Amino acid sequence: MIASTNKILIVDDEAPIRDMITVALEMAGYTCLEAEAAQEAHAIIVDQKPDLVLLDWMLPTVSGLELARRLKRDELTADIPIIMLTAKGEEDNKIQGLETGADDYITKPFSPRELVARLKAVLRRAGAANQSDPIEVQGVTLDPASHRVSIDGAPKEMGPTEYRLLQFFMTHQERAYTRSQLLDHVWGGNVYVEERTVDVHIRRLRKALGNSHEKLVQTVRGTGYRFSTKA
């Protein structure tokens, strides 16, 4: 197996689970780093900047959810993809994890093959986003390299899900997408989130864009939404 250039950080306080994941990922060609607590994981992330973090929800002292929040708030680590690993299968927990900024969510127990497939999908999405040049539409500029959005030159704050929605819309203009399609493209096809969640984030995105630009995100009756410069 040819070694991958991708480094994966596995954060779980149970050594057998870390060992199982490490074996599966190394067989798939990835380089693995390990941590058993949030503080140790944060130090590794800052020092070695892994390409993806597999993060257990339940960690001693500081939870995986809180670590995810911390990573997404820091511009130096905000772009690192996160897959949450947890025994929590309830929908509210999934939504909470995803809205924190996680890119996918896998409920234990899971098969190594499923894990590798989901990990590859997240890395592909992250790679495509990171390789994009800045996009500008009617004064709205999205720069994937710095993970920043500005409107008429002024920086604009928005949540991680709204950012991903805007990036998808700006790179797929003038086409109507159903809520189900947006879930697949923005949240990932293996993630279960109710379609009404899309409406919540559309409202937040429009609010972030402000009165002068919210009309770029159009409601298509009976279908879903589209991003368009046309009335």
Closest by CA position to 86, among listed 113, 71, 68: 68
| Backbone dihedral region for residue 220 (phi beyond 0: left; psi -120 to 50: alpha; all else: beta) | beta
pLDDT at 87: 77
Question: How confident is the model over 62-77, as a mean pLDDT?
Answer: 87
Percent of the chain whose pLDDT exceeds 90:
46
pLDDT tens for 87-129 read: 766 556 667 767 777 888 888 888 888 899 888 888 877 765 5
> What is the mean pLDDT of the segment spanning 48-69?
91
pLDDT attached to residue 12:
95
The predicted pLDDT at position 14 comes to: 93
pLDDT(189) > 80:
no
What confidence score (pLDDT) does residue 9 get?
97
C-alpha to C-alpha distances, 152 to 136, 139, 140, nearest whole angstrom = 10, 5, 6
Positions of CATH 1.10.10.10 in the chain: 135-227
Q: Which residues contact 41 (CB under 8 A, 6 or more apart)?
A: 9, 11, 35, 53, 55, 67
User: Is the predicted pLDDT of residue 3 greater than 50, yes or no?
Assistant: no
Asked whether the predicted pLDDT for residue 1 surpasses 60, the reply is: no
Higher pLDDT, 231 or 153: 153
Res 127: pLDDT: 67
> What are the residue ranges of CATH 3.40.50.2300 in the chain?
7-130
Helix (H, G, I), strand (E, B) or coil at 80: coil
Q: What is the pLDDT confidence band of residue 190, given thresholds at 50, 70 and 90?
A: low
Domain 135-227 has CATH 1.10.10.10: yes
Could you tell me which residue, 100 or 219, shows the higher pLDDT?
A: 219
pLDDT (0 to 100) of residue 2: 40
Count the alpha carbons within 13 Å of 80 in the hemisphere toward its beta carbon: 29
The region of weakest confidence among 31-40, 54-63, 97-106, 132-141 is 97-106
Superfamily of chain region 7-130: Response regulator (3.40.50.2300)
pLDDT at position 204 over 50: yes
pLDDT at position 4 over 60: no
Mean pLDDT across the chain: 86
- 74 vs 170 pLDDT, higher one: 170
pLDDT in tens, 140-172: 999 987 888 999 999 999 888 899 999 989 988
